[in-house]
Chains A and B, each alone.
Chain A
């Protein structure tokens, strides 16, 4: 049984879920890169 409606039908929960994990991860990665670059200057 292939479920044809499994993707693209509800975008808002997807954005919220990915934002919930993506924003903190992006913040952490940026912090790390900033520190690494400062230290190499």
Chain B
């Protein structure tokens, strides 16, 4: 039983007449809010001028110190998704979404206090720890619910939600800038007030999502849907318990598949502006580079929906084969585009690459569902998110350090990224091999009848007190 009865899983079972198309907007309410994390950098410069206002003054925070806020949040995201995944799965989506909203908003409110008293440790605690908890819980909370509502289109449904995470920055970035401008005065930078404003808006948005979300009644199927009768070796009809799933080679192969795909993309996302200007000096201005970064974010979001939806038709394994094969070719194309001075080819290559970066995130929940069943897919997804945290370290380090090493070795800036691109292509080849090695999970890992009996009892208990739609 949840602390508040309204949050209990049994109170979220959909009544007859409830449309399953209400669930994706509920999931988007969460992901559009936590996607703000991608836009946190808009606060970086203003937070270096909290004392000096027009310019940094002695005692003001510097960018290196501020960079830890995002890093702590992403670290806590991975840890909390892994630790609380089972609680999210068994407690139901409403409880998880409600808690995620509370943590996310608290993160902003505590950070506002930190900014107000100018104590960076309080901001680390606020956005880093509480915000990171909100990120972790919010990211995985709607996944298994969507898969259960859309057994016929699991890729599309989870892709839609995870697309929201990519799209959250589009809303957060202009909204944050507007809020800061609104609350700033000639003697004050309005960061704390902007944090409070965002916290209130996100709390309302995420709690609306928690109120809307429903789980299907036991045995529910979409109208006209009949599960495939022909056995597909890579789509299981059994469930695997979360702590058994992480003992399988399949889990760790998918972990590397995600980690390598994200590593290749994340380094580029972080360095896109500098890379485009340095590879095409005189041709790509700082303003044009900023536009390029905006387009990358847009294609990152669109790729999440496109590739995850496509995976429902061509299969998850084939979708990742596309990412790794096409990605390898495109990464090898980038140095060539620099050598012939083709900005168009460079931009097109990276736009396609970044769709596959987003697509990798969005397709993986359905891949896990295919391999391990639906029962604990959210919790297993939580463990897999640690691959993202690892890639968040590998990707930028690879791009930044290799570039610096090249420049220190006397390589012109325009060619300093070439080796990195070939290394990224190599990582994708390794990812291709990992994906190739993924086979069906051995039946010794499947949940046994005693697990089934517990599940059946839970379903009976849950069905005893259905809620209104």
Contact = CB atoms under 8 A, between A and B. Distances in A.
Interface of A: 1-10, 13-14, 17-18, 20-22, 24-25, 27-29, 31-33, 35-40
Interface of B: 14, 16-22, 25-26, 28-29, 32, 164, 167, 169-174, 208, 212, 216-217, 219-225, 287-288, 290-292, 294-295, 297-298, 301
B32 A1 contact: no
A40 B16 CA distance: 51
B288 A3 contact: no
B217 A3 contact: yes
A30 to B, nearest CB: 9
A29 B170 contact: yes
B291 A2 contact: no
B280 to A, nearest CB: 13
A32 B25 contact: no
A6 B291 contact: no
Contacts of B220: 1-3, 6
Nearest to A33: B298
B32 A6 contact: no
B208 A2 contact: no
A17 B294 contact: no
B295 A9 contact: no
11 contacts: A1-B220, A2-B221, A7-B19, A7-B20, A18-B21, A21-B164, A25-B167, A28-B167, A29-B170, A35-B290, A38-B291
B291 A35 contact: yes
A21 B32 contact: yes
Contacts of A31: 170, 173-174
Nearest to B149: A6
Contacts of A36: 291-292, 294-295, 298
Given A14-B22, A21-B29, A2 B223 contact: yes
Contact of A14 (B19, B173, B217): B19
